[in-house]
Amino acid sequence: MKRLSWLVPTIYILFLMLPIYWLVSMSFKTTNEILGSFTLVPQEFTLENYKKIFTDSTWYMGYINSLIYVSLNTVISVAFALPAAYAFSRYRFLGDKHLFFWLLTNRMAPAAVFALPFFQLYSAIGLFDTHLAVALAHTLFNIPLAVWILEGFMSGVPKQLDETAYVDGYSFPKFFMKIFIPTIAAGIGVAAFFCFMFSWVELLLGKTLTAVAAKPIAATMTRTASTSGYELGLLAAAGALTIIPGAIVIYFVRNYIAKGFALGRV
Amino acid sequence: MNKTVNQKAWFLVLPVLLLVAFNALIPLMTVVNYSVQETFGDNNFFWAGVLWFEEVLRSERFHSSLGRQLFFTFSILLIEIPLGVAIALAMPRKGVWVSVCLVLMAMPLLIPWNVVGAMWNIFALPEIGLLGNTLNALGIDYNFTRQPVAAWVTLIAMDVWHWTSLVVLLAYAGLVSIPDAYYQAAKIDGASSWAIFRFIQLPKMKRVLTIAILLRFMDSFNIYTEPFVLTGGGPGNSTTLLSIDLVKIALGQFDLGPAAAMSLIYFLIILLLSWIFYTLMMRNEDQ
| Contact indicator for B112, A218 with CB cutoff of 8 Å | yes
**Is B271 within 8 Å of chain A by CB?**
yes
- The single-letter DSSP state of residue B104 is H
Q: Is B106 on the interface with A (CB under 8 A)?
A: yes
- C-alpha to C-alpha distance for A231 and A27, rounded to whole angstroms: 10
Q: Measured between CA atoms, how close is A160 to chain B, in angstroms?
A: 11
The domain A53-262 belongs to what CATH superfamily?
MetI-like (1.10.3720.10)
pLDDT tier for residue A266 given thresholds of 50, 70 and 90: very low
Q: Which of A10, A38, A91, A113 to mutate to test the interface with B (most CBs of B within 10 A)?
A: A113
Q: What is the dihedral of CA B213, B219, B225, B226, to 10 degrees?
A: 0
Compute the nearest-CA separation of B32 from chain A (Å).
10
Q: Sign of torsion, CA A44 A49 A54 A55?
A: positive
| C-alpha distances in Å from residue A161, one per residue of A156, A157, A179, B187 | 11, 8, 9, 40
User: Is it the case that residue B129 has pLDDT exceeding 90?
Assistant: no
The proportion of chain A whose per-residue pLDDT surpasses 90, expressed as a percent, equals 23
Q: Does the distance separating the beta carbons of A266 and B211 come in below 8 Å?
A: yes
pLDDT of A108 reads: 78
Mean pLDDT, chain A, as a whole number?
85
| Per-residue confidence (pLDDT) for residue A59, from 0 to 100 | 86
Count contacts between A and B (CB, < 8 Å): 279
Of B211, B58, B122, B214, nearest to A27 by C-alpha is B122
* DSSP 8-state symbol, B223: -
Q: Roughly what angle, to the nearest 10 degrees, separates helices A232-253 and B96-106?
A: 140
- Say whether pLDDT at A35 is over 80: no
Would you say residue B118 has pLDDT above 70? yes
Contacts of B128 in chain A (CB under 8 A): 34-35, 38, 232
Q: To the nearest whole percent, how much of chain A has pLDDT over 70?
A: 92
> In which residue ranges of chain A is CATH 1.10.3720.10 found?
53-262
CA distances from B200 to A25, B172, B188, B242 (A): 44, 14, 14, 39
| Helix and strand totals (H; E) in chain A | 15, 1
Question: Which residue of B lies nearest to A20 if distances are taken between CA atoms?
Answer: B119
Q: In chain B, what percentage of residues exceed pLDDT 90?
A: 15
- Rounded to whole angstroms, the Cα distance separating A212 from A129 reads 7
DSSP secondary structure letters along A126-181: T-TTSHHHHHHHHHHHHHHHHHHHHHHHHHTS-THHHHHHHHTT--HHHHIIIIIH
Say whether pLDDT at A19 is over 90: yes
Least confident range of A190-199, B87-96, B181-190, B274-283: B274-283
The pLDDT assigned to A227 comes to 57
Contact B128, A34 (CB under 8 A): yes
CB contact residues (below 8 A), chain B span 33-62, against chain A? none
Sign of CA dihedral A152, A200, B216, B157: negative
Q: Are A76 and A135 in contact (CB under 8 A)?
A: yes
- How far does Cα A113 stand from its chain's mean position? 20
Q: Do A16 and B165 touch (CB under 8 A)?
A: yes
Interface pTM, i.e. ipTM: 0.84
pLDDT at A265: 42
Question: Nearest residue on chain B to A40, judged by CA atoms?
Answer: B130
Out of B104, B114, B133, name the one closest to residue A221 (CB): B114
The predicted model gives B233-252 an average pLDDT of 82
CA distances from A125 to A130, A242, B42 (A): 11, 31, 22
Chain A touched by B273 (CB under 8 Å): no
Q: What DSSP state is assigned to residue A93?
A: -
* Residues B134-175 pLDDT 10s: 888 888 888 888 888 999 999 999 999 999 998 998 888 888
pLDDT over 70 percentage in chain B: 94
Please state the length of chain B: 287
Q: Does B16 touch chain A (CB under 8 A)?
A: yes
| Closest C-alpha among A261, A128, A143, A92 to residue B213 | A261
Instruction: Using CB atoms, pick whichever of A15, A155, A232 lies closest to residue B1.
Output: A155
Please tell me if residue B284 touches chain A, with a CB cutoff of 8 Å: no
Residue B115 with chain A: CB contacts under 8 Å: 23, 218, 221, 239, 242-243
Contacts of A117 in chain B (CB under 8 A): 26-28, 30-31
Q: What is the CATH number of domain B61-286?
A: 1.10.3720.10
Taking CB atoms and an 8 Å limit, are B173 and A261 in contact across chains?
yes
Reading phi first (left if > 0) and then psi (alpha if -120 to 50, else beta), residue A158 is in beta
